[in-house]
């Protein structure tokens, strides 16, 4: 599914609250720009039996008090299944999710620091980390840009 279709689906399935569809439209350029840097149109996310995304806590080896919470996004079902059977969550299931939807969800996933997208099937060495804070910053800049470009030019007369 191409990125335009993914954005259209996000808008179509958004709550019809008068805000969310316009917000998705406004931030779509940011979601698409990041998604284009990733290799796959969809990734597999491990979910608990309650459909919550499975969170992994990583500790800094040199400083164990430093932790970050990540969600892994796998390029294939097999990669996700192998990781799941490696003990992450025996009840976990892997679900294919369009990349723009993952990015959109990341903005609101408060305990999550980043999503790690594995880019090469069969290995976890080639990964791209998208930090929630950086994504939020890009979205903020996009919204400010949209706002300033909508303001009327000063009256010259």
- The enclosing domain of 48 has a CATH number of 3.40.1350.90
Among 135, 132, 145, 102, smallest CA distance to 9 is for 102
Helices 99-108, 132-150: inter-axial angle, 10-degree rounding: 90
Q: What is the C-alpha R_g of the chain?
A: 18
- Please write the tens of the pLDDT for every residue from 89-100: 566 789 999 999
Residue 104 lies in a domain: yes
The residue behind tokens 């149109």 is 41
Q: What is the pLDDT of residue 86?
A: 52
Residue 142 lies in a domain: yes
**CA atoms 113, 45, 100, 8: torsion sign:** negative
pLDDT at 104 over 80: yes
pLDDT at 107 over 80: yes
* Cβ contact 27:143 at 8 Å: yes
Residue 156 lies in a domain: no
Residue 155 lies in a domain: no
Instruction: Tell me how crowded residue 97 is: count the other CB atoms within 10 A of its CB.
Output: 17
Q: What is the pLDDT of residue 103?
A: 97
Structural domain that includes position 96? 3-150
Look up the pTM and report it: 0.88
Residue 103 lies in a domain: yes
**Which pair of tokens denotes residue 39?**
């290799």
Q: Give the pLDDT band (50/70/90) at residue 28.
A: very high
- Please write the tens of the pLDDT for every residue from 47-71: 988 888 998 888 888 888 889 999 9
Looking only at the bridges linking them, the beta strands covering 114-118 and 93-98 are unpaired
**Coil, strand, or helix at residue 92?**
coil
How many domains does the chain fold into?
A: 1
More confident: 119 or 87: 119
Mean pLDDT, residues 105-127 taken together: 93
Q: What is the pLDDT of residue 156?
A: 43
Q: What is the pLDDT of residue 143?
A: 93
Residue 19 lies in a domain: yes
Mean pLDDT, residues 115-138 taken together: 95
Residue 93 lies in a domain: yes
Residue 157 lies in a domain: no
């Amino acid at each position: 599914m191409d990125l335009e279709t993914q954005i259209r689906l996000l808008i179509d399935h958004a709550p019809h609250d008068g805000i969310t569809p316009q917000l998705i439209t406004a931030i779509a350029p940011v979601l698409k720009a990041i998604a284009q840097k990733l290799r796959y149109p969809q990734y597999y996310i491990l979910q608990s039996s309650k459909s919550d995304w499975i969170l992994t806590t990583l500790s800094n080896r040199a400083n164990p008090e430093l932790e970050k919470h990540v969600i892994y996004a796998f390029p294939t079902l097999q990669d996700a299944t192998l990781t799941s059977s490696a003990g992450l969550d025996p009840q976990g299931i892997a679900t294919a999710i369009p990349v723009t939807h993952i990015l959109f969800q990341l903005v609101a996933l408060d305990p999550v620091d980043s999503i790690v997208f594995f880019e090469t099937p069969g290995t976890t060495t080639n990964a791209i980390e998208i930090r929630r804070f950086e994504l939020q910053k890009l979205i903020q800049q996009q919204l400010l840009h949209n706002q300033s470009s909508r303001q009327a030019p000063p009256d010259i007369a």
